[in-house]
Amino acid sequence: MKSLKTCAVIPAFNEEENIGEVVRETRKYVDNVIVVDDGSTDKTFEEASDADIVLRHPVNMGKGFALGTGVEKALENGSDIFITLDGDNQHNPGDIPKLASILVDDKLDVVFGSRSLNGDMPLVLRFGNWWLCKTAQLLFGSRIEDSQTGFRAFRREAYDKIRWSSHHYSMDSEIVMNVGRNKLRHRQVPIKTHYHCRHKGTTVVDGVRIFLNMLFWRVRG
């Protein structure tokens, strides 16, 4: 681990109340932190100032686009291990060493932090996640129990194989699909989550869009 450069990439949209704490806690466990302010209209950009790099989209482009912006910057900086987590303080940065060590020690390509494995997910979100996970399992042979997780670790070498084109929340399912199609070595591990704001995140409309996208990807092959 000491010879590998780790970078956390955090997309954030209107997270002025949370992003500062997320950055400060995340810095304890990685070499660099990159925040992508995805067109926020509040003080997210200013509150993220403790990050090593803060990038800013002039308008909101979507989670998938923002994450791609951050990962591309991390590649430029020579990072070897990438950690992605959300900017809403839902994820516990203290879980980063667990994901990263499993990735490296077990010679995996991708490690998914699974909320479904610990029972913390609210009922409505649990049902939506179950539906999307079952769809991914049926269409792509996935065994991931939390296809919508934003907390994951992956190697530099795996990025080209999991690279996503979706600009919004569908990117999480697209990564799962690409992991399966490319037969990447992966694992899911339980993580703790805190649902501070239940009106944010994936909505019913987002869920339907993700479902339709998965059908399209399956037909397209």
Residue 159 exposure: Cα atoms within 13 Å on the Cβ side: 17
CATH class held by domain 6-220: alpha beta
Query: pLDDT tens-digit profile of 14-32?
Result: 999 999 999 999 999 999 9
Instruction: Please give the C-alpha separations between residue 93 and each of 13, 38, 134, in angstroms, as whole numbers.
Output: 18, 21, 28
Q: Name the least confident of 55-59, 101-105, 157-161, 191-195.
A: 191-195
Beta pairing, strands 152-155 & 81-84: antiparallel
Query: pLDDT tens-digit profile of 118-164?
Result: 555 555 566 666 666 677 677 776 777 787 789 999 999 999 999 99
> How many residues in the chain?
221
Instruction: Please give the C-alpha separations between residue 172 and each of 16, 50, 51, 53, 179, in angstroms, as whole numbers.
Output: 24, 27, 24, 23, 11
